[in-house]
Amino acid sequence: MTDALHLTCLIVGGTIFLCKAWALLSRARDTVAVTICVYVGLSALSYLLLLPPVYVLIDRWTGIRNSAGMGSGVSVLGLTVAQQYLLMHWTYPRSEARRRFRRRLTLGIVMIAVYVVTFMVFAPRQERFQDFYLEYSQRLFQSPYLVIYTLACLVGQTDVVRHCWRYAQISQRTWLRWGMLTTAVGGALILCYAVLRVTDLAAGPLGYDLHGMEPAVWLCGDVGSMLSLIGWVLPTMGERLSAAARWGRAYRIHGRLYPLWRAL
């Protein structure tokens, strides 16, 4: 089930990334479009690295056990920073958005650096691609990088839910409002994922086995990620869907008028 969820997220993210990358050819100076492309690309990459064949291949290529898991974690931390840029751009004036994002960018870079350093120092001794996060959360003192990863998910997604929900209440554009609401729901599910990971971190040292919760954990994380992906691109895709619906309606009306045109 977990691999199927990862593959589905990869397909959704990869499809959106290709569409956005193609559109980016004519909008290379649009920082928002570039950031959305980076966000979607990192999301797809985080799931690509978790697929067992890719996971094993990356580990053999780098010679570091579970390096693919580290790469997936770095991708998640990176897309969290990209989300912050989008949030600040869409909810604050440009000057204030830049000021707020600079602080978040600095914090994000520090967290990524600490995550990688602690991973290299406390390198996992066993290769585990099915239950990497759960297995090493059970050994908290050997894997402090998971604490950084979980805290980043909690803080980042709390910010996403708060801003998206607030902005959805005041937005006058229908598709933008639906996009923000979809992203807020996705962020809430990812928060559930992060809370369950905190439970793993707390239960491990106490000797509790939470392997039975893994399907629910990944269901929250993967469905939340897909909803967030769809929510961020819905404002632009929605306008095109509305235009296509209007064209189809006009085509049907012209078809009904065909007998009149023929008579004339």
Tokens of 253: 């009306």
Confidence band, pLDDT 50/70/90 cuts, at residue 231: confident
Confidence band, pLDDT 50/70/90 cuts, at residue 28: low
Residue 197 has pLDDT above 70, yes or no: yes
Chain segment 76-110, per-residue pLDDT in tens: 999 999 988 888 887 788 888 888 888 889 988 99
Residue type, 72: S
Confidence band, pLDDT 50/70/90 cuts, at residue 113: very high
Q: Is residue 248 within 8 Å of 32, Cβ to Cβ?
A: no
Residue 255 has pLDDT above 60, yes or no: yes
Higher per-residue confidence, 50 vs 77: 77
Q: Looking at residue 124, what is its pLDDT?
A: 67
Burial 6-34 (b: 16+ CB within 10 A, else e): beebbebbbebbeebeeeeeeeeeeeebb
Confidence band, pLDDT 50/70/90 cuts, at residue 164: confident
CATH number of 2-263: 1.20.1070
Which residues lie below 8 Å from residue 196, measured CB to CB, with a gap of 6+? 213, 216, 217, 220
Distances (CA, A) of 91 to 117, 167, 180: 34, 7, 11
Whole-number Å distance between alpha carbons of 182 and 168 = 10
Q: Is residue 194 within 8 Å of 154, Cβ to Cβ?
A: yes
pTM score of the predicted model: 0.81
User: Which is nearest to 140 in space by CA: 117, 122, 158, 154?
Assistant: 122
Instruction: State the average pLDDT over residues 42-58.
Output: 86
Tokens of 250: 């006009």
Confidence band, pLDDT 50/70/90 cuts, at residue 66: confident
Residue 175 has pLDDT above 60, yes or no: yes
Q: Looking at residue 131, what is its pLDDT?
A: 61
Residue 129 has pLDDT above 60, yes or no: no
